[in-house]
Structure 1
């Protein structure tokens, strides 16, 4: 009996000793973590908090403005603050300790750098810089962006004010708003460095133009109405272009041109005869 009691006591003692060792290791890990954070300058930790806040603000703004796409215009302040804080994080040195060396390129995840690259990639993928004039201290909407927004607004107002009274009859909308739409489309094409505009136009503008074109062609069916007068114009242009050709064909085959070579030969014979006669006299 005493042996059994002794054995049980030994087992419980081993369990308590292991538990104590585990607590010691856990406490050591906590103290190591605290020591690591204590070695980080307070200024660097404050910059990291600000960086995380602006990254979160931009991400939230981009999600809220995903459709219709207004990321470039609505999220510009969040983007500028985020980039400024990232630059500050890279350049700040406290008592010989660089904040960059603490937070960037220390592990495979590299969370700070990955967060910066992800937001920058989204911004540049949308060509958002093309919406702004960056010559000053702060970015402002470019003249082209302001003009496009005005022309787009004029087109939308024309469509809305015209379609409401007439209901489903879109003929009036197409004829009355045709001038506004064509001016808008022409100006948009002037902004594009390629035929599509994907690599040169601010995505806010591109998305607005695509939506307007879809409404104009699919919902209002104005493109078919536009093609009808264009077809008549092209036919008239083609007929007018063919008239000179028809004229020369008629002149060639309907007039007595066969007598022309004989006349030419006769005149040449007279000229040669006169020339030889003069040479004989001389």
Structure 2
């Protein structure tokens, strides 16, 4: 009887030890899973990122996405500068905030940038900034303390551009000559004003791309679609014809002298002056 009691006690002891080690093993596995999840979320660092820095990074990503979307939607016709300026301001401001914010002695910029050869955040910022700077968008605005405002030159161009397009649309008909005649002065006024905005009269040096694209589109409509440049070429053609005729007169005269010789039977009589001979004979 005592033997059976001892055997029963040993079995219970073994079961208790098994349950204890099983629970310890489960707790170990749970801790391991939590650690793996912590590493999978991209936060497997001894000191996790400050929450404030990550919130700025999230805001920067959102504004960069908004600016990218805006620039794509306003790619043709180009209205990048006018339509996307607010997105650009928020995007650029958040990037500067990310660089300058310091939490517990740690710069947020140093946490996310210059840590690897991809340097994704800076590359994204620089690529979007290249689009804005490439379009000379800053030249469309006066940058004051209250934010950007369209320059007077930009406002005047937009007004002249709208007047020209309204004139063309309102006078479209079966005969393009009517549009050309009625809108000629409006178009010339727009073209001359555009040339005054830039030293090279093309605008590639400093004029913002919204204006450049609007002018290029108007010129294409005026010359290729409406073929209105033919009216302006008529006086030039007349001038060139007159210049060509006047320039050819010396050649015509030379050919006349060269080939229009006297008829063979005629001789030219040369009068000789005998006064010198008479003078010497008297002396």
Normalised by the length of structure 1, the TM-score is 0.71
Let me know the Cα RMSD of the aligned residues: 2.5
Q: CA deviation at 1:39?
A: 1.7
The answer (yes or no) to whether the contact 1:104–1:112 under 8 Å persists in 2 is yes
Larger displacement relative to structure 2 (204-213 or 190-199): 190-199
The answer (yes or no) to whether the contact 2:53–2:98 under 8 Å persists in 1 is yes
User: Are 1:152 and 2:158 counterparts?
Assistant: no
Match for residue 175 of structure 1? 181
The answer (yes or no) to whether the contact 2:180–2:228 under 8 Å persists in 1 is yes
- Bigger fraction of residues in helix: 1
- 1:254-274 CA-to-partner distances (Å, cap 9, x unmatched) read xxxxxxxxxxxxxxxxxxxxx
- SS of 1:133's equivalent in the other structure is strand
The answer (yes or no) to whether the contact 2:140–2:151 under 8 Å persists in 1 is yes
* Pair 192,98 (structure 1): closer, same or farther in 2 beyond 3 Å: same
Unmatched 5+ stretches in structure 1: 1-21, 243-282
Q: CA deviation at 1:212?
A: 0.3
Match for residue 125 of structure 1? 134
- SS of 1:66's equivalent in the other structure is coil
Match for residue 84 of structure 1? 93
Query: 1:1-282 to 2 correspondence within 5 Å?
Result: 28-32=35-39, 33-36=42-45, 39-163=48-172, 167-232=173-238
Q: Which has the larger radius of gyration?
A: 2
- SS of 1:36's equivalent in the other structure is coil
Normalised by the length of structure 2, the TM-score is 0.71
- SS of 2:65's equivalent in the other structure is helix
Unmatched 5+ stretches in structure 2: 1-28, 248-283
Count, aligned residues: 218
* Pair 49,232 (structure 1): closer, same or farther in 2 beyond 3 Å: same
